[in-house]
Amino acid sequence: MNSADTSQDETEAESTPTLASPAAPGSASATPADHDYSPWLFPGRATDDQRRAQADHQHRLRQQNPGWRIGTDAYLSPLASVQAERLDLGDRTYVAAHAYLTDEVAFGPDCSINAFTVVRGSVRAGTGVRIGAHTSILAFNHTMDDPEEFIFRQPLTARGITIGDDVWIGSHAVLLDGINVGDKSVIAAGAVVTKDVPDGAVVGGNPARLIRWRVPPEGPTTTAAGLGAPAEAGQGRTGAEPARTGPADTRPADAGSAEPDPAGELRAFADRARAQVRELMERAFDTDLGLFRDRPGTGVTVRAQCDAIEIADLLLGRAPDQLDEADQIQRLTSWQRPGGQIPELRPDGTQEEGDAGPRYHVLSVGYALDLLGAHLPHPTPSALTPAQLREQVGALPWRTNAWNAGDGVDALATGLRWDLPRGRADQTLADALFGWLHRHVDPGTGMWGSLRDQEPLLVVNGYYRLTRGTFAQFGLPVPYPEAVIDTVLRHAGDERYFTPERQNACNVLDVAHPLWLAGRQTPHRRGEITALAHRLLGDALGTWHHGSGFAFAAPGAADQGAAGNRPGLQGTEMWLSIIWLLADLVGQSADLGYRPRGVHRVESVPQLRT
Burial track 570-582 (b if 16+ CB lie within 10 A, e otherwise):
bbbbbbbbbbbbb
Burial track 428-449 (b if 16+ CB lie within 10 A, e otherwise):
ebbebbeebbeeebbeebbbbb
CA 178 from chain centre, in angstroms, equals 27
What are the residues whose beta carbons fall under 8 Å from the beta carbon of 563, sequence distance 6 or more? none
Query: What secondary structure letter does DSSP report for 336?
Result: S
Burial track 114-147 (b if 16+ CB lie within 10 A, e otherwise):
bbbbbbbbbbbbbbbbbbbbbbbbbbbbbeeeee
Report the alpha-carbon distance of residue 159 to residue 325 in Å, rounded: 46
Closest CA to 235 of 284, 188, 193: 188
Helix (H, G, I), strand (E, B) or coil at 50: helix
CB 571 within 8 A of CB 551: yes
- Identify the active-site residue in 142, 361, 491, 513: 142
Q: What is the DSSP string of 456-508?
A: HHHHHHHHHHHHIIIIIHHT-PPS-HHHHHHHHHHHHT-HHHHSGGG-BHHHH
What is the phi/psi pair of residue 334, to 5°? -70, -20
Reported residue count of the chain is 610
What is the phi/psi pair of residue 311, to 5°? -65, -45
What value does the CA radius of gyration of the chain take, rounded to a whole number of Å? 25
CB 553 within 8 A of CB 504: yes
361 has catalytic annotation: no
Residues belonging to the active site: 142
